[in-house]
Structure formats: C-alpha cells, structure tokens
Amino acid sequence: MTDLLEEACRFFERHLTDGHRAFLLSRYGFRPRFVKASRIGYAPADGAALLLHLMDPGYGGDEIVGSGLVQRWARDGRTGVADHFRGRIVFPYLDGERAPLYFIARATDETPTHGDGTPPKYTT
C-alpha cells in the first residue's frame, strides 16, 4: 500500500498548476517552497484519472479500491468505480520521511457537484 500511496501522491503533485499554487498563496499564504516540501497536489476533475494512472503500472482493482482513493458505486442498476477526489487540492499527511500516509482534499471551483448538492469543502 505504501508504494501505491506514493504513486498517487506523485500523480497529484504533477497535476498542481500555477493557478492552484496562486490560490494556495492567496488563500493560505503557502509559498511555493512550502507547497513543494508539503507535497501538496491536485486531483483532476476527470472521474477516473487516478484509477487509470494506478492501473497502468499494474496495481490491481481491489488494491486501488482498498486504498480509499477510488470508490465503487452503484446507481440505477449500473456499477463502476471512480476516483474519490475529483477537482480538489490534495494535502497529503506525511510521515517523518515525507511519505504519504493518507490524504485530505479541499474543493475548488472545478470540483464536480452531484445533483443539487454542494460538495463538502474538505473530505478525507
């Protein structure tokens, strides 16, 4: 699981844009050096971007779902899996060696809504 979480963290880091960095600076005062050291990233709004990324190097579906980063869903007689974090700034909780243990994510203007509900600002 450690390798999978590390791969996910790198994925999120690669997707953080300059616009997201500007938001982190203006909203929280997080300077670029801090953002990089804290390994803050971004989860694309696409519902399967992380899932597909993790499957590419050979992680299995059960392992990916077991990480909590991807969820199974069932709706109207259909089933599937989708990324848990979509369109969110992702804050990893790091151990002493800067390896991710779990993630917390904040909604952005890009976070998809479901029905009439507003997505929660933060989610784990």
Question: In the predicted model, is pLDDT for residue 76 greater than 80?
Answer: yes
**Cβ-Cβ contacts under 8 Å for 113 (sequence gap 6 or more):** 119
Mean pLDDT value of segment 43-53: 94
Q: Looking at per-residue confidence, does 113 or 93 come out higher?
A: 93
Mean pLDDT value of segment 81-101: 95
CATH of the domain at 103: 3.90.980.10
Tokens of 61: 């579906």
User: Which residue range forms the structural domain that includes residue 103?
Assistant: 2-123
Tokens of 67: 């990480």
What's the structural domain count of the chain? 1
**For residue 6, which amino acid is it?**
E
